[in-house]
Amino acid sequence: MQLLRNRIQNYAWGSHSAIAELCGRPSPSAQPEAELWMGAHPQAPSMVERGGAWRSLEQVIAEDPLRELGQRSVDAFGPQLPFLLKVLAAAEPLSLQAHPTREQAAAGFAREEARGIPRDAPNRCYRDQNHKPELIVALTPFHALSGFRPVERSRELFSGLRTSELDFVRDALGAGDAGLGSLFRTVMTLEPAARERVVGATLRECRRAALQGGAFAAECGWALRFGELYPNDAGVVSALLLNLVVLEPGQALFLPAGNLHAYLEGVGIEIMASSDNVLRGGLTPKYVNVDELCSVLTFQSGDVDVLSDYATPTREFRLHKLTGAARCEVRGPEIVLCTQGTVTVSAPSGELSLPQGASAFVSAADVAYQISGDGTLFRATTGEG
């Protein structure tokens, strides 16, 4: 059981205060701080102190995977940590995006390898062969888009945007879920002149609808913000087909493969299978491959399940929120993160005090540990335990 030193990702949409304040550093930070990564992902592995020196957790696991991960995890997921834990702090909206299934990722990775596309190339869709299901737990009020809204509700929204430029959207929605795929592709592949007309008309009507209030005023308000950030982006229109969700602190959202989504604003704890496969669908200056995105999307409408517990069908991870004293049995690799107060973690191998923002790696060699103190601890384990 060792303390972690973790890397911060300075993406443009990040906060200048949330992660700095969580970790007890001066705020505001000089650069936007979007994500704090805890894990062994090769892009930004955490560091642990071993033998008097700070070493990459990825390297430590590679040297003795059975000791660090345990036989159960190695048999299930191979000799690597199967999950990645993050603190995510969004001050601006992220791109519309989706993630592939494991089978889609493996096939896409092989295709791009055969084409010789470098794995760090901006036009690379599949950077590894893994899927990337995600769970986000809100630490603050957290706004997100997730999945296609029930079609009848989307028809109601677009009926309130009174412009002939959106007739094709209303017509397609009349076909129910069967029309979602072709509608999304049509929106995303509009020719530049048509896209400018459609997006401009949509924003004019959203401005009117947002001022008038009503059932979809919040959705229209977000569309206006997207339009300011990404003028003439087709994602302004396609985002209006998605469920707008506001999570209260402690509530969670699970995002399976094929779910079109975007985090908009707020701070949360995110856990995912260890992958960096992202297929984008607008509201971004980054590469968008519409054909590839449509090949992985699930074009099925419905309401969003907001979770109060964090159980998911994903084998790679499970997240637990602990307050007060508890005894935890170790059945595989774990990462623990204190998000409030101070927590003491005691194991046969030693004792750690985790103040707010501190985290630790618990290897499978630790049979059990006790937690105490007045803080809040998030415990990331595999779903196999």
- Residues serving a catalytic function are 280
Which residues touch 128 (CB under 8 Å, ≥6 apart)?
Answer: 105, 109, 275, 276, 277
Residue 250 and residue 321 in contact, taking contact as beta carbons nearer than 8 Å: yes
Give the E-state strand segments of 223-349 in sequence order.
Answer: 242-247, 252-255, 261-273, 279-280, 318-323, 326-329, 334-340, 342-347
Report d(CA 84, CA 81) in Å as an integer.
Answer: 8
Report d(CA 165, CA 16) in Å as an integer.
Answer: 39
Report d(CA 378, CA 385) in Å as an integer.
Answer: 16
H-only helix segments in 175-313: 180-188, 192-212, 217-229, 235-238, 290-296
Q: CA-based angle 315:319:322, to the nearest 5?
A: 150
Residue 1 corresponds to which tokens in the numbers above? 């059981």
